[in-house]
Amino acid sequence: MSNVLVPILDIRRFDRLGDPRERDAFVRDVHAAYREIGFIGVTRHDIPQGLIDGAYAAVKAFFALPTETKMQYCVGKGGARGYTPFGVEHAKDIPQVDLKEFWHVGREHVAGAAWTKDYPPNIWPTEIPGFREATWGLYQALEDLGNRVLRAVALGLGLEERYFEDKTDHANSILRPIHYPPIQEGMGDPGSVRSGQHEDINLITLLVGSGEPGLEVLSRSGEWVGVTTIPETIVVNVGDMLQRLTNNVLRSTTHRVVNPPAPYCHQPRYSIPFFLHPNSEFMIESLPTCVTPENPNHYPEPITADGYLTQRLIEIGLLKAGEDKQGRAY
């Protein structure tokens, strides 16, 4: 298996408002990568390394707690907030469970905001001092960076630069710290891997990754290739909602986390992706600029972001058919 170096882009090029040529070049580079591989690496993003290190320290401390303690925070459906234990989630169309456990941090409620009725409130582990401040701080920083990337995406699609801003300003975006425990015989199901091949559901994913091997993407030629980045890089990839919105112009690339060889298989792996979603009521329908005679509309039936998310959560085992994301029958 070969490795691929994700295109590395310095986002300061886009922030230089007085240099339109450099901004235009950045937009072209983003779109070239998103059309071809669906991934970029963003450097010089201004997220302090101390904030990232603090979040990793907090989530590692949580996952080290006894199982019975962690299970006190397994309170919702669809992994909406709090803890989801080992052996629950699986990739779409793959019956084997993933070898991971994770935590969800969502948008903090704002008093009086109408959208708060749609999302459950966050819960926080009292056993880990500073957990809330560390993870919520990283959530906000990654959301800000994601919005900067989406401005470049909008320009590349021929849209107004801030097209996405009022479509993501109260979204059910999720920070998901993940723990992949050391691989042991008999874990999960026969054939289980740390994360089965899948595409992300949302608009874009920002990954504060670990240095361990295991992340692979499926190339256009059908070959699995390992993803390598450079330190202090945040990987940003296209999700299915953005692929659908752009009528397959931008690629939501299939990827997975495989069980690595020794000695890495005997070590835990941690990662912290941030899934940036559109607002729940946003209607996902192909952008007119992305529908052409050569690329006819592949998604003639529009669907709300919330409706699409619910469909996908059922497919990956986090919801049952007939339940909403708070476990209520409908």
Q: Is residue 329 part of a domain?
A: no
What mean pLDDT, rounded, does the chain reach?
85
Dist CA 142 CA 148 (whole Å): 10
Axis-axis angle for helices 49-63, 131-156 (nearest 10): 120
Q: Residue length, the chain?
A: 330
Q: Is residue 308 part of a domain?
A: yes
Q: Is residue 114 part of a domain?
A: yes
Each residue's pLDDT, cut to its tens digit, for the chain (330 residues) gives 556 667 899 999 998 777 889 999 999 999 999 998 898 999 999 999 999 999 999 999 999 999 999 999 988 665 588 998 887 765 565 666 677 899 999 999 888 888 887 788 899 999 999 999 999 999 999 999 999 999 999 999 999 999 999 999 999 999 999 998 877 665 555 456 666 677 788 999 999 876 666 778 877 778 888 776 677 899 999 999 999 999 999 989 887 777 666 676 677 888 899 999 999 999 999 999 999 999 999 999 999 998 998 887 777 666 555 555 555 443
Dist CA 138 CA 145 (whole Å): 11
- Burial class (CB within 10 angstroms; exposed 0-12, middle 13-18, buried 19+) of 305: buried
List pLDDT tens digits, range 5-34.
Answer: 678 999 999 987 778 899 999 999 999 999
CATH code (residue 51): 2.60.120.330
**Structure confidence at residue 11 (pLDDT):** 95
Residue 75 DSSP code? -
Q: Is residue 321 part of a domain?
A: no
Domain region containing 223: 3-315
Dist CA 80 CA 327 (whole Å): 10
Q: Is residue 322 part of a domain?
A: no
How many domains are contained in the chain? 1
List pLDDT tens digits, range 168-187.
Answer: 999 999 999 999 887 766 55
Q: Is residue 330 part of a domain?
A: no
Q: Is residue 326 part of a domain?
A: no
| Strand ranges for the chain from DSSP E | 3-5, 8-10, 39-43, 82-84, 101-104, 174-175, 178-180, 195-198, 204-208, 215-218, 224-228, 234-238, 255-257, 269-276, 283-284, 303-304
Residue 194's SS3 state is coil
Q: Is residue 116 part of a domain?
A: yes
pTM of the model: 0.89
Across-strand partners of 25?
none
Give the dihedral sign, CA 36/41/44/46: positive
